[in-house]
């Protein structure tokens, strides 16, 4: 069945109430009963929940074949937790395991082996990269992987689309009772936003830490009342890869050039007024935008009331200079951000639900003024692809992209017109991860395009003397330089399902056909 | 083959951005940054054993990419290198707007290159005289010979100072206030004005010191330079902002031009505007400011 963005969704996926994507806000006004975990009563006092090893925790949790385990990705490329836990699960001979992580990355290449061995038969995640992405693209995973945005994951857990049997939560610090924090310890990651929903909805919760601290470890990101066991290991991650020293502004002239244009687009809208809010990314141009906003803010005498998203040093510095009132933190990317959330009373940790859940009574993204996002591809319907490369292999993550795009008053996607010999602006993206109706402006190094749905933004840009062209013109320019690419070849098998925020199906990814010269 | 419009000897050259002819990423679309002129470098930016590869890349870039209204100049290798003749051939074959001669020291240097350009124009059926020339002055001798260099050929559109090499020869170090290059800069402007061509100041290599860069641009503009050579796109906007006539300057210029036209019709050759004496000598400067404002795209009047 064709969905709202024109993607064909196989009928065999539309079972058990699963629908095709019907446009944003489709489920507004619907009701649902929240799912709930089956939890053990620990009425008899226990002094300590610490067990000797991950293996022991797995056994005590009565793990069985076919269970779903969950992880967060606050340790990013420096994560050891997923691999440590999966190794024990595999060594214990468990099979048919589904991994429901908030995201998976290059640190999790060993999982690809478990997929090929048929031990891991389900993956639910935002990010799917490296060897895991390749393995899934080649068809090794028994069931289609389910790709969700950060907000969509929370909704899926709350609605019961996914039931977590055991949540393994890596924590920089924990006390013996399970009060866990993202702050302190040897591998400080600042916040534990992604795992908060896991702690509330999983049947069993295991904290894995490398720094045991005296009880009570307050205020906790993960509360002891939700925790079954605590495991102390030597290292939960590689500190140097968890948080870089300090994210620096790019010096790449092209990124700076595009970032400055983004700042000008932002300033041309009436949303750019005292008390505005802004979501920052960590990638080159989207981060550099804040640097170009600063002089404009000074010129107009306005301040940013709140900045949200993945936090980095430049945003922290803006707050310390007094240009930003408060930082709403869903993830920390570098040590400055970690330090700031530890010490600055205006820097707040929130849950991923508060950040981006479409099914609660109002997440932060709904109040967001501006977001600047990157994209691998944007097509002439303004649909964005951030998950599959031009070769069709899974190598990216929707992250908070679809959530912020749906909520923001002005969503800007910034991308160079071409990357190497690949057109970023194309006729039809390989995979839709964010629907075009959410994307308001596309900024490239060769011009700006505004979504026809936003005649108001076109008028504001005209008033500001900023030229813009149709997205088709940008696509034609790209193709005139690199030529229109040949269509990718696919097998029939669906290897990944891209869910929209509300759980409907936005697109599917099929198994790639190895390229042949003929 | 991309058809480029005829190179103009006199045009806006506030910014001349150096890019390496060896780097496809840099060469494919430098026009997006808005510099008035691009200098594709075959000389110092290209490794010795990559000179031929750079030429191939340059030729294909020139013939397949539309640089629009951005001027495209090629910096060939020095006359004491084995490369410069082929550099000239490739540049003319590709349709470059002009050649920049490095380490130019005399009128003879210009004439040697001009000869090679003429031959290449004939070889590749380019209209004779189309390709312009500029010279980089990098030694004390070059500075002293600046006037003869400027007047060595009708193709000459300007001279530029190359600070790094010049400071080495002068045995001086860079200072913020530029005293070490004061005389060299002054001589350059004098020579250019006497010959009726343009002059360009040297590159500023500290890309982190934007404040220092800005101060230098203000200084060289006051000294009379038409523009500056740049090594990074982020330097462009600063130069353009400084070279933009202020609204006050435009307004004053308009008043002078209008008053002059009105008075001269009545037969008056000298008069006052705002209590300042104005005669015909003031007219060219005022007209130049209005022309510059128009070229910068900020003139909204009707003169």
Q: How is residue A108 annotated by DSSP?
A: G
Q: Which residues pair with A145 in a beta bridge?
A: A496
Q: Do domains A49-242 and A253-488 have the same CATH topology?
A: yes
Q: How far is A435 from chain B (nearest CA, A)?
A: 29
Contact B33 A253 (CB under 8 A): yes
Q: Which residues pair with A423 in a beta bridge?
A: A418
Contact A412, A262 (CB under 8 A): yes
Q: How far is B228 from chain A (nearest CA, A)?
A: 18
Cβ neighbours around A128 below 10 Å, total: 30
Contact B56, B80 (CB under 8 A): no
Which of A257, A446, A481 shows the shortest C-beta gap to B233? Answer: A257
Q: Which residues pair with B277 in a beta bridge?
A: B272
Q: Give chain B as a 3 state SS string.
A: CCCCCCCCCCCCCCEEEEEECCCHHHHCCHHHHCCCEEEEECCCCCCHHHHHHHHHHHHHHHHHCCCCCCEEEEECCCCCCCCHHHHHHHHHHHCCCEEEECCCCCHHHHHHHHHHHHHHHHHCCCCCCCCEEEEEECCHHHHHCHHHHHCCCCCEEEEEECHHHHHHHHCCCCCCCCHHHHHHHHHHHHHHHHHCCEEEECCCCCCCCHHHHHHHHHHHHHHCCCEEEECCHHHHHHHHHHHCCCHHHHHHHHHHHHHHHHHHHCCCCEEEECCEEEEHHHHHHHHHHHHHHHHCCCCCCCC
Q: How is residue A79 annotated by DSSP?
A: B
| Structure token digits, residue A23 | 């446009």
Domain extents in chain A: 49-242, 253-488
Cβ neighbours around A39 below 10 Å, total: 13
pLDDT tens string A453-465: 999 999 999 999 9
Q: How far is B52 from chain A (nearest CA, A)?
A: 22
Cβ-Cβ contacts under 8 Å for A166 (sequence gap 6 or more): A58, A61, A63, A67, A68, A69, A70, A202, A203, A204, A205, A206
| Closest-CA residue to B223 (of B180, B189, B174, B176) | B189
For CA atoms A366, A369, A375, A377, give the dihedral sign: positive
- E strands, A57-203, in order: 68-71, 97-101, 120-125, 145-147, 166-171, 173-174, 180-181
Contact A506, A433 (CB under 8 A): yes
> Radius of gyration over alpha carbons of chain B, in Å?
20
Q: How far is A52 from chain B (nearest CA, A)?
A: 53
The pLDDT of residue A413 is: 96
Contact B33 A257 (CB under 8 A): yes
Chain B residues with CB inside 8 Å of A446's CB? 29, 32
pLDDT tens string A152-185: 999 999 999 999 999 999 999 999 999 999 988 9
Q: Which residues pair with A425 in a beta bridge?
A: A378
Contact A253 B207 (CB under 8 A): no
A334-338 long-range contacts (CB < 8 A, ≥24 apart) are: A334/A243, A334/A244, A334/A245, A334/A246, A334/A247, A335/A188, A335/A243, A335/A244, A335/A245, A335/A246, A336/A246, A336/A247, A336/A312, A337/A190, A337/A243, A337/A311, A337/A312, A337/A313, A338/A183, A338/A188, A338/A189, A338/A190, A338/A243
Closest residue, chain A, to B65 (C-alpha) = A481
Taking only the tens of pLDDT, chain B with its 303 residues reads 678 889 999 898 999 999 999 999 899 999 999 999 999 999 999 999 999 999 999 999 999 999 999 999 999 999 999 999 999 999 999 999 999 999 999 999 999 999 999 999 999 999 999 999 999 999 999 999 999 999 999 999 999 999 999 999 999 999 989 999 999 999 999 999 999 999 999 999 998 899 999 999 999 999 999 999 999 999 999 999 999 999 899 999 998 888 888 888 888 888 888 888 888 888 888 888 888 888 788 888 887
Chain B residues with CB inside 8 Å of A253's CB? 33, 232-234
Chain B residues with CB inside 8 Å of A481's CB? 28
Contact A41, A455 (CB under 8 A): no
Cβ neighbours around A371 below 10 Å, total: 29
Cβ-Cβ contacts under 8 Å for A482 (sequence gap 6 or more): A418, A421, A422, A423
CA torsion, points A327, A329, A333, A338, in degrees to nearest 10? 80
Contact A253 B234 (CB under 8 A): yes
Interface residues on A facing B, Cβ-Cβ cutoff 8 A? 251, 253-254, 256-257, 445-446, 481
Closest residue, chain A, to B231 (C-alpha) = A253
Chain B residues with CB inside 8 Å of A256's CB? 233-234
Closest residue, chain B, to A417 (C-alpha) = B29
Q: How far is A76 from chain B (nearest CA, A)?
A: 30
Q: Give the Cα separation of B107 and B153 in Å (integer).
A: 8
Closest residue, chain A, to B233 (C-alpha) = A253
Which of B32, B207, B233 shows the shortest C-beta gap to A446? Answer: B32
Chain A residues with CB inside 8 Å of B28's CB? 481
Q: How far is A412 from chain B (nearest CA, A)?
A: 20
Inform me whether the pLDDT recorded for A247 exceeds 90: no
Inform me whether the pLDDT recorded for A135 exceeds 70: yes
The pLDDT of residue B225 is: 97
- CB pairs A-B closer than 8 Å: 16
Q: How far is A416 from chain B (nearest CA, A)?
A: 11
Cis peptide before A427 (omega within 30 of 0): no
Closest residue, chain A, to B61 (C-alpha) = A481
Contact B29 A251 (CB under 8 A): no
In chain A, the percentage of residues whose pLDDT exceeds 70 is 99
Q: Tell me what the pLDDT averaged over chain A comes to.
A: 95
pLDDT tens string A347-389: 999 999 999 999 999 999 999 999 999 999 999 999 999 999 9
The pLDDT of residue A251 is: 81
The pLDDT of residue A516 is: 75
Contact A404, A439 (CB under 8 A): no
Domains identified in chain B and CATH numbers: 15-243 (3.20.20.60), 247-295 (no CATH)
Contact B232 A253 (CB under 8 A): yes
Chain A residues with CB inside 8 Å of B233's CB? 253, 256-257
Chain A residues with CB inside 8 Å of B207's CB? 251
Contact B29 A253 (CB under 8 A): no
Chain B residues with CB inside 8 Å of A295's CB? none
Question: What is the fold, at CATH topology level, of the domain defined by A49-242?
Answer: Glutaconate Coenzyme A-transferase (3.40.1080)
Contact B32 A445 (CB under 8 A): yes
pLDDT tens string A476-515: 999 999 999 988 999 999 999 999 999 999 999 999 988 7
Chain A residues with CB inside 8 Å of B33's CB? 253, 257
Cβ neighbours around B244 below 10 Å, total: 17
| Closest-CA residue to A319 (of A293, A292, A346) | A346
Contact B225, B239 (CB under 8 A): no
Q: How far is B213 from chain A (nearest CA, A)?
A: 17
Contact B29 A257 (CB under 8 A): no
The pLDDT of residue A518 is: 65
Contact B29 A445 (CB under 8 A): yes
Interface predicted TM-score (ipTM) over 0.85: no
Contact A256 B233 (CB under 8 A): yes
Confidence of residue A18 (pLDDT cuts 50, 70, 90): very high
The pLDDT of residue A440 is: 98
Contact B20, B83 (CB under 8 A): no
Average of per-residue pLDDT across A77-87: 96
Q: Give the Cα separation of B218 and B223 in Å (integer).
A: 9
Question: Which CATH number is associated with domain A253-488?
Answer: 3.40.1080.10
Contact B233 A446 (CB under 8 A): no
Q: How is residue A237 annotated by DSSP?
A: B
């Amino acid at each position: 069945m064709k969905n709202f963005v024109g993607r064909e969704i196989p009928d065999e996926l539309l079972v058990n109430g699963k629908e095709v994507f019907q446009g944003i806000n489709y489920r507004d006004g619907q009701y649902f009963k929240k799912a709930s975990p089956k939890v053990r009563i620990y009425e008899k006092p226990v002094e300590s929940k610490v067990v000797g090893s991950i293996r022991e925790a797995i056994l005590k949790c009565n793990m069985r074949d076919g269970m779903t385990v969950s992880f967060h990705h606050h340790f990013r490329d420096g994560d050891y937790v997923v691999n440590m836990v999966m190794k024990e699960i595999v060594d214990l001979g468990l099979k048919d395991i589904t991994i429901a992580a908030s995201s998976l990355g290059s640190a999790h290449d060993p999982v690809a082996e478990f997929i090929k061995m048929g031990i891991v038969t389900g993956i639910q995640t935002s990010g799917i990269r490296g060897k895991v992405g390749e393995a899934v693209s080649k068809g090794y995973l028994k069931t289609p992987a389910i790709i969700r945005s950060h907000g969509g994951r929370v909704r899926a857990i709350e609605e019961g689309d996914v039931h977590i049997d055991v949540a393994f939560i890596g924590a920089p610090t924990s006390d013996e009772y399970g009060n866990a924090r993202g702050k302190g310890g040897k591998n400080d990651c600042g916040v534990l936003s992604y795992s908060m929903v896991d702690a509330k909805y999983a049947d069993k919760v295991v904290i894995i830490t490398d720094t045991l601290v005296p009880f009570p470890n307050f205020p906790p990101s993960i509360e002891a009342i939700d925790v079954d066991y605590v495991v102390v290991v030597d290292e939960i991650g590689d500190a140097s890869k968890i948080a870089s020293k300090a994210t620096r502004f790019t010096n790449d002239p092209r990124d700076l050039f595009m970032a400055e244009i983004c700042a000008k687009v932002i300033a041309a809208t009436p949303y750019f007024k005292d008390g505005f809010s802004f979501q920052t990314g960590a990638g080159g141009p989207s981060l550099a935008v804040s640097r170009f906003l600063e002089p404009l803010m000074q010129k107009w005498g306005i301040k940013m009331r709140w900045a949200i998203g993945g936090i980095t040093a430049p945003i922290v510095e803006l707050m310390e200079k007094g240009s930003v009132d408060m930082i709403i933190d869903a993830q920390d990317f570098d040590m400055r951000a970690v330090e700031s959330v530890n010490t600055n009373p205006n820097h707040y940790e929130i849950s991923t639900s508060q950040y981006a859940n479409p099914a609660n009574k109002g997440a932060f993204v709904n109040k967001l003024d501006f977001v600047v996002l990157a994209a691998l591809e944007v097509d002439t319907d303004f649909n964005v692809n951030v998950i599959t490369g031009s070769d069709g292999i899974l190598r990216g993550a929707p992250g908070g992209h679809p959530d912020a795009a749906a909520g923001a008053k002005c969503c800007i996607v910034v991308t160079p017109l071409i990357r190497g010999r690949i057109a970023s602006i194309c006729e039809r993206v390989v995979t839709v991860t964010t629907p075009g109706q959410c994307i308001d402006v596309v900024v490239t190094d060769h011009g700006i395009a505004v979504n026809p749905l936003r005649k108001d933004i076109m008028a504001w840009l005209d008033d500001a003397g900023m030229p813009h062209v149709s997205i088709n013109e940008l696509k034609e320019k790209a193709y005139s330089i690199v030529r229109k690419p040949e269509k990718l070849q696919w097998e029939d098998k669906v290897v990944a399902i891209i869910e929209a925020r509300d759980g409907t199906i936005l697109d599917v990814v099929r198994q790639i056909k190895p390229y042949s010269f003929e | 083959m991309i058809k480029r419009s005829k190179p103009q000897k006199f045009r806006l050259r506030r910014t001349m951005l150096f890019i390496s002819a060896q780097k496809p990423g840099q060469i494919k679309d430098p026009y997006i940054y808005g510099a008035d002129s691009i200098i594709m470098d075959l000389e110092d930016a290209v490794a010795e054993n990559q000179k031929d590869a750079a030429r191939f890349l340059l030729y294909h870039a020139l013939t397949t990419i539309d640089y629009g209204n951005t001027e495209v100049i090629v910096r060939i290798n020095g006359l004491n290198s084995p490369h410069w003749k082929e550099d000239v051939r490739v540049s003319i074959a590709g349709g470059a707007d002009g050649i920049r001669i490095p380490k130019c020291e005399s009128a003879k240097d210009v004439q040697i290159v001009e000869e090679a350009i003429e031959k290449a124009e004939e070889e590749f059926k380019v209209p004779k005289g189309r390709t312009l020339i500029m010279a980089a002055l990098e030694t004390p001798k070059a500075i002293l010979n600046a006037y003869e260099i400027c007047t060595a050929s009708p193709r000459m559109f300007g001279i530029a100072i190359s600070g790094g090499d010049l400071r080495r020869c002068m045995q001086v170090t860079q200072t913020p206030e530029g005293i070490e290059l004061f005389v060299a800069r002054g001589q350059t402007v004098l020579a250019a004005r006497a010959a009726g061509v343009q002059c360009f100041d040297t590159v500023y290599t500290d890309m982190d010191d934007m404040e220092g860069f800005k101060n230098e641009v203000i200084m060289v503009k006051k000294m009379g330079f038409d523009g500056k050579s740049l090594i990074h796109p982020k330097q462009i906007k600063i130069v353009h902002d400084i070279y933009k006539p202020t609204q006050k300057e435009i307004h004053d210029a308009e008043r002078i031009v209008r008053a002059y036209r009105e008075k001269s019709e009545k037969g008056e050759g000298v008069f006052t505007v705002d209590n300042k004496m104005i005669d015909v000598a003031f007219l060219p400067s005022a007209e130049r400011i209005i022309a510059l404002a128009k070229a910068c795209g900020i003139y909204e009047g009707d003169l």
